Structure 1
């Protein structure tokens, strides 16, 4: 079958500063739809008269749907015009949120939650789109801006769901999220530039190409190795942290874990700075700093086993370091992969994010087993081991990126 993988030639769209901020807001709202159900599961259990386990399934189904949507829908960003694809997915998400908020029983709620997860992959379409709208010397900065929106959405989602649900009932977060998502569909439909599809392959070919790129693109594999290992350690710590905080060492409730999670807000401000560092110094150097930061985090977190004020301070500092390492590494990795093949950015992001989610899942499983078998020190050792494995992707002895900038590819054709 003939292929058309050549990027179209034109000049980048003059996106200015406002459009990336709007896209960052859309990323935050989109990813929040995946995470806020976690905060209202006890309220769902009471409201629908079901067990806590059944109510928790709604959050799990939404997250599984998100992972499936990344693999199945994000590659379409290379095949279809992104503006109608993004607005269509936002409209679908809004309707599914409305159905979830009006659901009379768990069956419809689970079905609607699954649709929310699958359709709310808009952030993973906006990131490669933004990378194609600017010159290479601004790519890291713009990606960092959108990544900051993602971090903010993840951090504020549970607060949004918990506070609104506590005062107005579990349906309120779903209904408010439906309105916000619908408004975003309209605003982005007016604000986003149009783009012509870069390839005309059939859908099965797009999926196969995603897997083929993981095999053929060395820089993609390096980015995957960085993120899978560091995110694995990150997930291991956060999974085991709840066991540590609620155990005999600290004897605190789950609310304390939520308060510690707010510490990661600082990484929201580090992401744009990481993007500027990538533009000036290159993704490799930023990745190396992130790996070293993860190693430092593992050392600091070890003191968390002491307990008391000293242990809490160590946990807070270590979690902040680890969160900065993960989020800034994400900016560097995506800047690297989006420079590889302009016509395949959505497929590159699909392979990258799917592997990252698999690494996070493995980290959660390993973190729980390590804590149960050997305690908190083993979890910290797991983080250090993961960071050392990430060092294998560092370009020791290889040619450094010139000025931190890749060869400027031909940008995507855009239209209004």
Structure 2
């Protein structure tokens, strides 16, 4: 397959709009993290059950990556991205009007499944970027996606303090509808010159995985790094609302703002990728991930250390992720949609596993066990980077 390119590359304002859309889609899967205590209280369920919504969102997202994102190599990309975003908005509305855990779980699953619109937009930005600037375009759009993930916790906490946790989802759904309309107006039509059937597209993903060793090594690296950070994502609200800090939703949301600063790393990593410095960025980020968990362990009783650790691990995750995408997108440009689906499916399977394991570690032995698990996964990430270096050589 060959990708069609418009006469003019995407402008910076359009890339920024795509970044905003990605942030809304991806961030919507993280609204529940600072709200677990309030959700559990209002729905009359245990906090551990409320925490299952974190895993549901990530599993649904992984399913969307595997089953829906490959359609970007088959269908017109603008229509696909906008349609998925509208369906994700519907999921946010279902969650916003949920009166029980079952309805909330359905809304969470819908929003997670269709929020993969962001993963149609990211490789689209790379494909339609000016020659030699695909890393910058990817980094810019990914900055929006990562900012959305990081800011989601803060926005959710602030909106919950104002109008309750359900208001978070209702406002998100409305904003997503507006941005979807703007995307339809601003984006050019884009599709592969050659078409294939859906079954062929899905089967070819296995072929791509077998054909490209670095797709395997980078997918494994991404899965381990996100699993490590997801241990934090799934338990931070429980720590901060507990006896050590006794924070409410608004305060927990404000803590999440610290990680937004780390989103700047995405744009910087994209520029380094255009210069061929992916391995150096990955190695430095893996080291930061290990150091971040050391700070988080000290942060179990000291807010300053917790904030430092959270910033460090967020920066590390973004540096690894952008470097990974830069590597895998160049393996076979005509199959970016499917390659992205393979990589991101592994990435979010890692996230779901890390969230589930983090919750179990918390239940068994609290914050020290959570930190031990996160640090172990960080060490495994560093080992995976070494393996990828050998594969490259």
Is the shorter-chain TM-score for this pair beyond 0.5, marking a shared fold? yes
Q: Which moved more, 1:163-172 or 1:317-326?
A: 163-172
In structure 1, the partner of 2:169 is 174
Tell whether the 8 Å contact from 1:291 to 1:325 is kept in structure 2 after alignment: yes
- Select the structure of larger CA radius of gyration: 1
Match of 1:382 among 376, 385, 388: 376
In structure 2, the partner of 1:276 is 271
Distance 1:51 1:351, change over 3 A: same
1:290 Cα deviation from its structure 2 partner: 1.6
| Distance (Å, rounded) in 2 between the aligned partners of 1:100 and 1:368 | 22
Match of 1:253 among 229, 233, 246: 246
| Distance (Å, rounded) in 2 between the aligned partners of 1:35 and 1:377 | 20
Match of 2:158 among 163, 173, 176: 163
Match of 1:358 among 329, 349, 372: 349
Distance 1:375 1:149, change over 3 A: same
Return the TM-score normalized by structure 1.
0.81
Match of 1:185 among 180, 199, 204: 180
Tell whether the 8 Å contact from 2:160 to 2:167 is kept in structure 1 after alignment: yes
1:254 Cα deviation from its structure 2 partner: 5.3
| Distance (Å, rounded) in 2 between the aligned partners of 1:237 and 1:259 | 16
| Distance (Å, rounded) in 1 between the aligned partners of 2:116 and 2:348 | 13
Distance 1:186 1:216, change over 3 A: same
| Distance (Å, rounded) in 1 between the aligned partners of 2:284 and 2:84 | 36
1:356 Cα deviation from its structure 2 partner: 1.2
**Structure 2 unaligned regions, length at least 5:** none
Distance 1:164 1:323, change over 3 A: closer
Alignment of structure 1 residues 206-285 onto 2, 5 Å: 206-239=201-234, 251-253=244-246, 255=248, 259-285=254-280
In structure 1, the partner of 2:319 is 328
Match of 1:121 among 109, 116, 124: 116
1:11 Cα deviation from its structure 2 partner: 6.0
Distance 1:179 1:368, change over 3 A: closer
Q: Which moved more, 1:86-95 or 1:343-352?
A: 86-95
Return the TM-score normalized by structure 2.
0.85
2:389 is paired with a residue whose SS is coil
1:197 is paired with a residue whose SS is coil
In structure 2, the partner of 1:289 is 284
The answer to whether 1:140 aligns with 2:131 is no
1:186 Cα deviation from its structure 2 partner: 1.1
| Distance (Å, rounded) in 1 between the aligned partners of 2:23 and 2:267 | 15
The CA deviation string for residues 233-271 of structure 1, in whole angstroms up to 9 with x for no partner, is 323355566676677xx8223557655433212211121
1:320 Cα deviation from its structure 2 partner: 2.2
1:192 Cα deviation from its structure 2 partner: 0.7
The answer to whether 1:393 aligns with 2:387 is yes
| Distance (Å, rounded) in 1 between the aligned partners of 2:127 and 2:307 | 37
The CA deviation string for residues 143-188 of structure 1, in whole angstroms up to 9 with x for no partner, is 1111211122112223333332333344432322222111112110
| Distance (Å, rounded) in 2 between the aligned partners of 1:206 and 1:165 | 42
1:286 is paired with a residue whose SS is helix
Alignment of structure 1 residues 67-146 onto 2, 5 Å: 67-102=62-97, 107-146=102-141
| Distance (Å, rounded) in 1 between the aligned partners of 2:237 and 2:96 | 29
| Distance (Å, rounded) in 2 between the aligned partners of 1:101 and 1:144 | 32
Number of matched pairs? 387
